[in-house]
Structure 1
Amino acid sequence: MIFSFYPTDITYDVVDGKPRVLLFGRTLNNEQVCVIDSSFRPYFYAIGDKEGLQVLEQDEFRVTEVQEVTKNLNEKEVKALKVFVNVPKAVPVLRKLAQELGFKVFEYDILFTRRYLLDKRITPFVLTKVEGEEVQLDFKVRCIKVNKIECVKGTFADPGILAFDIETYNPDGKKINPEKYPIIMIAVHTNNFSRILTWKKFNSTNPEIEFLKDEKTMLERFFEIVDKLKPDIITGYFSDGFDFPYIIKRAKIKKIKMNLGLDFSEPFIRGRIQSEVKITGIVHFDVFKFVRRVISRSLETYVYSLDAVAEELLGEKKIQVDLNKLAYAWNKNIDKELEEFCRYNLHDAKLTFNLASKLLPNLIELVKIINLPMFDINRMSFSQLVEWFLIKKASEFNEIVPNKPSRTQEALRMDDPIKGAFVFEPTPGLYKDIVVFDYRSLYPSIIASHNISRGTINCDCCKDAEKIKTSRGEFHFCRKKKGLFSMAITELILKRAEIKKELRVKQDPLLKARSQSLKLLANSFYGYIGFAPARWYCKECAESVTAWARYYIHKAIDFAEENFFKVIYSDTDSIFLLLDGKTKQDALNVVNEINKKLPGLMELEFEDFYPAGIFVQAKASETGAKKKYALINEKNQLKVRGFEAVRRNWSPIAKDVQKEVLRIILEEQNPVKAKKYVRQIVSDLRSNNVPKEKVIIHTQLSKSIDSYESIGPHVAAAMRLRERGETISPGMIIKYIVIKGEKGLIRNRVRLVEETKQEDYDGEYYITNQVLPGIDRIFAVLGISTDDLVSSSTQSKLSGFK
């Protein structure tokens, strides 16, 4: 039989001592299937004399074949041995034995399923053609044994998504204790199905509420719904860390078989520090992890709660309820409150569904670019995404993947920092009529244009090539043979350029998602090659990139000044010109001349025109702070860089005041109004008239509480949370308020938000430590002191614009 399907999930098992790959997906006829491939064999690479490898074995693990192959290592041709073994688990065991015999070994840590996708060129969520015959297996879906399989074209753009959310019994407040406390509500939502499952009968006319006999019956009903709806993707918000582990624990306590897998297997949890829950055949998409690791770069919010992320991406918020009252309402069977909690539960599931639907195109595009399962991509950091993209390209170009560095190697790399880019420091002040140009993806385009890669550096064939001086010496790069880095990044840049052309014609969300993914990946390349744990770490390459960046920025500055433009600022990839009576077209003409002399894919682009801007003074210096400026464009949109407004450990009131002060000064050019506004805020803080919500400080816990040598305010707040029974882990955003009390250590006056009343917070603390530090240097540019801002005198003049 011949058919086409969209693979969505992959795993493997071993039958009669032989591994078989299981590809789950959905056919064009909307049928879930499992495609089985028993032809693929696990292997690793070794370099050395072939003798001794063929008879390598330990326990049930053995080498089945050794092939002599020609490969590239660090982009240089080598003779290698491809060592096939009987089962995937034999790879780490036998490679260790090979190492002990003196062999250099490679690619022993690439998972079998990932290896299959890369070698077979099978891309999840992309249409795949299969020839094979049906086989009978005890699975929930039809199974087809593969004779031939190949990826064709077409993206699975509309997979079935099921979102869920749970509420638990919590008499101790927010304490999480699955051993002791039951799940009392489970909400399920798809594009055509909504249900709240609960086992406390109360008066309600809501048809979406389904009452069950007890927790056990409710859990069984949830599993039944998942089986019946047959989703391709099941999604939750922090479902790796809370919802699924809680369900799994409660199912175990209630002795329920949780056979959600399409092979009747139960979900399994992997990972010690951060748990991951895998379901065979169904992709588990944890929206929180994707937001935090990938999407957060493009978000304004610094809190990644469901409420904050949904508000920014969807324009919707959670229903506001007091979860501390849920246990009481449950115990007393309060109809109205229980119904509201059910509504809250379902709304959370709906928000999660809508977020998953909105973000899915971005996730699918990363899957297509990198060629790994969606489950894995969902949980990867940007450095991992770049590394696996390079692994994919290495596979395509016959390159052996380098090994990960040892801890000792990592430590040595970290002790040898890479010199950064050039920054042209501005003179503090207010400026009018600024035009900003930036190099289009400067670092990626330098890597592509100068062929920067580990295998092209200081080649013997191009010794007369243009050289770049760095703090580590002088380097040149091959002009005859493309390197792995430059090939990979050129592909990303050119693909994005094509998509941007299409987007000018039609606004397609899928195209936009692909463009964003390509940009994020390309811009992460430079950081990766200078990242200590990277397989392809290359400090000479990283230094060369920043050296070229400094060179091109200097060239642009020199040419602009030769053409009578004043350069007021320049950073990693941007140049700020003061028009000073000239026109925007004059500036564009200068930039066009610069572009004529740039190599390859490099281009200086017009970013925007700003009628006004401010650069503030650095601490203990008369030069402007690096990356500390604010600009306003012709649409009155603020662009703020380097100010405290972009830091997450500042309260909303500090951020609001800073933003409004900048707006008044740059848009209205009214210092009197700006100072009057600040004085009113100072007065409101002193009299506790600023809403409590505006003085909440958010700080991320970077490590476990017990790892901190000194106890700062956020650690003190985290300790209070722990005392209340809450689970505290690294990465959590801790929220607290500083209250009135005897002066001394701030940590002694830290309280949790729910412990604090409106009149409790210390207004003087927020004035001195939050509001004023965010605006003092702005007003210093205007000649207005901090004392002047908190006193009652008037100020009438604004320093002139330059």
Structure 2
Amino acid sequence: MVVPSPLSDLDESRLLVGIWVDSEEGKVWTAWRVGGQIETESEPFHGFAWIEGGLCDDREIGSLPRKSLAGAGSLSHLIEGDDSEGARILAQLPRNPVKAESVRPLEHQHLLRHGMRMIAPGFLGDVVRCQIDIETGCEDPNGFSDPKRKGDRVLAIGLRSGGNAEILELEEETDAAERSLLKRFGERLRAIDPDILEGHNFFNFDLNYLRFRCRRFKLPMEWGRFGAEARFRNSRVRIAERWFDLSRCDIPGRTVFDTLIAAQFYDLTQRSLPAFGLKDLALHFGLSGKDKRTYLPGNKIAESFRENRETFRAYLEDDLRETEGIATILLPTYVAQAAIFPMTLQEILLRGTGSRVEMVFLEEYFRAERALPEPQQSKSFEGAVSKSFETGVFHKVLHFDVASLYPSLLLHIGRNPKNDDLGVLIPALERLRAERLEYKKRSLEESDPALRREFSARQNSFKILINSFYGYLGFGGARFGDSELAAEVTKGGREILEQLIVNFQSKGCRVLEADTDGIYVEAHDWFETPERLLAAVNGDLPDGVDLEFDGTYEAMFCYKAKNYALLDGESVVVKGSALRSRGTEPFLRKLTNHLIDWLLGVREEDPLEEVRELGSRLEEHSIPVEELAKGEYLSQSPTSYEKAVAEKGKSRRASLEVALRMDPMPKMGERVNYYVGMADKKSTPEWQKARSLEEYDPITAPYDPGYYQSRIKSWMKRYGEFLSESEQV
């Protein structure tokens, strides 16, 4: 495997910042940043694919140059296409991994063949970034702007690069003026010539809106390099168990980075984001305060454009500034991964970790001219320890975790997957871990803040990759998967954690929570000397498996497994979906936070007082509907849901019923906010009473106070045991 060398050993004079394969012409184009300028190159594209022996008898496939490969794998031939005709044949190979493996997209084939990496060895300071945000108008004063509607328009396009913002504005509200605005945008984009384009909800809103308006005016979307136009297609991104529908945009020679998608991936590990809106993220990351930026309600933006241009511009500039700040936080880990994998930066954002791990294997097997095995079927196996031992509030809490538990156990076992006859996994893990430790050491020792952030991002990227190897082993359909090896690793992890639980208990600690590789303990006698406790319990772990001390907390509220809150100094960290679900109504989330703060001694006011106040305000209809609105990410497209209900009698869902009435209709993976309105009968189901916020009217479509009173009663039933005075700190 190609692992990046230390930065000091790398040639920083040429950075690969863009790549595009023109399959029709059989060419690959590359863009290199050299001394602050862009140099472009082109060369013939040489495609390749692994195939099983039976395909060699196909007339067209058999006409391509091929070689027989060593090894026991069933894909035992490598075919190559050196011209446009060869590329056409390769593109028509069966999409059956048992019969063929063709690395996609084609840009990855070029990177893999030549051992090239995007952007490496440079980092954010060496690339040109550009943030983009558009503001639009709607001919329906109560509607949402729709690019397919003739009278809706792009009012302004903001661009920010190198900290400097410029706003391109519609000169008059006519088709000719809008066409001119879109043309100027393309010209400015080519003049700035950025390597990375950044935006929030960039794919599904900004770029998609510009796409339809350009189509309307028959204006080519000449936003790319190499004289190429932007290309759109419908796609999906998987974020944990949830799918996200995407109007994907590929701009040849540039990377499109959507901070909305990156934030959702970030939250899979951090579990700390309150919401994914631009303003929510900016507040969370400390980029803006409520008094530090200009705010405009969505339905007032067009009015501000027409009547208060100064406020409108300030609002758009703040959006651009926040987008840059969020991208600066989220982008480094992806740039660092581009230095590891033969993949484009955009694909690293949009693909899961399993595909990245498989690229490690494919690169080694290509270089060794080795046959590929068939994808493996996964088998179920017992998972990790995840248990809450106590309920309530505890003090003087210490946290310990096993560093990279599963990768360490893989190295301790020392066995490659059964299908990996080249023996890639263990040597790759050893090299990656060594590189990670080197960058971690540099991040701690470096005095330059920019380099420190870079080294930290690089070591974190290695950590993500290292931890992904275990998950890949148990993934169904992974070509080098091995669920038996994954089960052995998980079993070893359970045994280690169970032994550590016994060890901590033998030292007088109360074990509160144990999950996979970490343990929280109440340890009054050891609270001031956690290193001594670490040494006392760390003695009988396998070689290469290390327990680490990870933090002290004055208090901890344990609710149930994987759901707890920690008092860290004066701040409270809440973990677990039961305590901080984004699907819960805002007024109940605030009530839960009040309870947690009260239990941990951060707040004195009894939460029962807030419960009584909420009841009174509901009867008075004085709670804003936004505080009552539930939010849900759509698990399927509204049209698919409607068809399933009609044809298969599927159960009705409130969020999807609301989505069907919205214009434009939201996509799968997008968030829908709704409240529950009044109905003539108490037995009316929730899905029939659900209304979007746009449908709210305090007279004709009010919310149902009785429904929300019942929600408070459910909350009391869930948390009632913690509301007695004896539980308070």
TM-score (norm: length of structure 2): 0.83
Whole-Å separation in 2 of the counterparts to 1:260 and 1:749? 45
How many angstroms apart in 2 are the aligned matches of 1:231 and 1:526?
Answer: 37
Decide whether the 8 Å contact of 1:165 with 1:348 is kept in 2. Answer: yes
Counterpart mapping for 1:152-231 below 5 A: 153-155=121-123, 157-172=125-140, 173-178=143-148, 180=150, 181-191=152-162, 193-201=164-172, 214-231=177-194
| Match of residue 210, structure 2, among 247, 261, 272 | 247
Residue 730 in 1 paired to residue 644 in 2? no
Matching of residues 771-786 of structure 1 within 5 Å: 771=712, 773-774=714-715, 776-781=717-722, 784=724
Q: Which runs of 5+ in 1 are unaligned?
A: 127-152, 203-210, 458-480, 617-624, 785-796
Identify the match of residue 711 of structure 1 among 643, 646, 652. Answer: 652
**Offset, 1:702:** 0.7
Q: State the partner residue of 1:602.
A: 545
What is the match of residue 67 of structure 1?
Answer: 67
Whether 2:32 is the aligned partner of 1:25: answer yes
CA 1:569–1:700: 2 relative to 1, 3 Å: same
Residue of structure 2 equivalent to 1:478: none
Give the letter for the 1:496 counterpart: R
Where do 1:465-476 residues align within 5 Å? Answer: none
SS in 2 for 1:187: strand
Query: Tell me, what secondary structure is at the counterpart of 1:36?
Result: strand
1:62 CA drift (Å): 6.2
Q: Are the aligned partners of 1:658 and 1:775 in contact in 2 as well (CA < 8 Å)?
A: no
Shift of 1:364: 0.8
Deviation at 1:664, TM superposition (A): 1.4
- The CA deviation at 1:763 is 4.2
Rounded to whole Å, the distance in 2 between the matches of 1:242 and 1:668 is 41
- Kindly provide the amino acid, as one letter, of the partner of residue 437 in structure 1: F
Q: How does 1:509-524 map to 2 (within 5 A)?
A: 509-524=453-468
Q: Answer yes or no: is 1:36 the counterpart of 2:42.
A: yes
Aligned residue among 186, 191, 196 for 1:233: 196
Structure 2 CA distance for partners of 1:753 and 1:111, relative to 1, 3 Å: closer
Corresponding residue of 2:564: 629
1:622 matched residue in structure 2: none
The answer to whether the Cα contact below 8 Å between 1:451 and 1:482 also exists between their aligned partners in 2 is no
Aligned twin of 2:646: none
Mapped partners of 2:326, 2:393: distance in 1: 41
The answer as to whether partners of 1:25 and 1:34 remain within 8 angstroms in 2 is: yes
- 2:281 pairs with one of 309, 316, 324: 309
1:551 offset after TM fit, Å? 0.8
Which amino acid counterpart does residue 167 of structure 2 have in structure 1? I
The structure that has the greater radius of gyration is 1
CA distance in 1, matches of 2:166, 2:513: 57
In the superposition, relative to structure 1, how do residues 81 and 177 fare at CA in structure 2: closer, same or farther (>3 Å)? closer
Q: Structure 2: which amino acid aligns with 1:43?
A: F
Name the amino acid aligned to 2:165.
S
SS at match of 1:234: strand
Q: Aligned to 1:695, which of 602, 608, 628?
A: 628
Give SS of 1:370's match.
coil
Is 1:114 matched with 2:108?
yes
Please tell me the root mean square deviation across aligned C-alpha atoms, in Å.
Answer: 3.8
SS in 2 for 1:535: coil
Deviations 1:53-93 (A, max 9, x none): 4x8643xx7644333443574xxxx9943322344774684
**Match of 1:146?**
none
Report what 1:370 is aligned to. Answer: 341
Structure 2 CA distance for partners of 1:96 and 1:697, relative to 1, 3 Å = closer
How far 1:774 sits from its partner (Å)? 4.6
* Distance 1:609-1:245 versus aligned 2 partners, 3 A rule: closer
- The structural deviation recorded for 1:379 is 2.0
Cα contact 1:456–1:483 (8 A) shared by 2: no
The 2-side partners of 1:426 and 1:636 are apart by 26
Give me the whole-angstrom Cα distance separating, in 1, the residues matched to 2:310 and 2:91.
59
Q: Secondary structure at the match of 1:70?
A: coil
CA distance in structure 1 between the aligned counterparts of 2:338 and 2:386, rounded to whole angstroms: 36
Deviation, structure 1 residue 798: 0.6
1:790 alignment partner in structure 2: none
- In the aligned structure 2, how far is the partner of 1:268 from the partner of 1:95? 18
Q: CA–CA distance in 2 between the matches of 1:156 and 1:683?
A: 53
CA shift for structure 1 position 438: 1.6
| Secondary structure of the corresponding residue to residue 70 of structure 2 | strand
**1:589/1:68 Cα in 2 relative to 1: closer, same or farther (>3 Å)?**
same
Q: Say if 1:532 and 1:368 are closer, same or farther in 2 by CA, change over 3 A.
A: same
Match of 1:81 in 2: 77
Change (3 A) 1:630 1:62: same
* From 244, 265, 283, the counterpart of 2:228: 265
Percent identical across equivalent pairs?
23
Whether the aligned pair in 2 keeps the contact of 1:124 and 1:367 (CA below 8 Å) is yes
Give the conservation status (yes or no) of the 8 Å contact 2:557–2:599: no
1:592 to 532, 535, 539: 535
**Between Structure 1 and Structure 2, how many residues are aligned?**
688
2:296 is matched by which residue type in structure 1? V
Check whether the contact 2:375–2:481 (CA below 8 A) recurs between aligned residues.
no
Question: CA–CA distance in 1 between the matches of 2:260 and 2:168?
Answer: 23
Matches within 5 A, 1:594-673: 594-616=537-559, 625-633=560-568, 635-642=569-576, 644-667=578-601, 673=606
Residue identity matched to 1:306: L
SS of structure 1 residue aligned to 2:480: coil
Distance in 1 of aligned mates of 2:720 and 2:112: 57
Instruction: Give the 3 Å change call, closer, same or farther, for CA 666–13 of structure 1 in structure 2.
Output: closer
Letter in 1 for 2:252: T
Q: 1:5 aligns with which of 1, 14, 20?
A: 14
C-alpha distance in structure 2 between counterparts of 1:287 and 1:734, whole Å: 19
Q: CA deviation at 1:528?
A: 3.1
Distance change in 2, residues 1:687/1:395 (3 Å): farther
Contact in 1 for aligned 2:439/2:455 (Cα 8 Å) = yes
Within 2, Cα distance between the matches of 1:765 and 1:281? 54
Is the aligned partner of 1:485 residue 2:425?
yes
For structure 2, list consecutive stretches of 5 or more residues without a partner in the other structure. Answer: 1-10, 237-245, 642-649
Identify the structure with bigger relative contact order (alpha carbons < 8 Å, sequence gap 6+).
Answer: 2
Residue of structure 2 in register with 1:792 after alignment:
none
Distance 1:377 1:585 in 2: 43
Contact 1:88 1:112 in 2 (8 A): no
The structure carrying a bigger helix percent of its residues is: 2
AA in 1 matched with 2:129: I
Whether 1:441 aligns to 2:404 is yes
8 Å Cα contact 1:67-1:81 kept in structure 2: yes
Letter in 1 for 2:127: P
SS at match of 1:736: strand
Structure 1 residue matching 2:562: 3-state secondary structure:
strand
Whether the aligned pair in 2 keeps the contact of 1:183 and 1:215 (CA below 8 Å) is: yes
- For 2:392 and 2:94, locate their aligned partners in 1 and report how far apart those are by CA, in whole Å: 65
Question: Which AA in structure 2 matches 1:768?
Answer: S
Query: Aligned letter for 2:458?
Result: R
Q: Distance in 2 between matches of 1:773 and 1:90?
A: 64
SS in 1 for 2:651: coil
Whole-Å Cα distance in 1 between the matches of residues 609 and 12 of structure 2?
A: 72
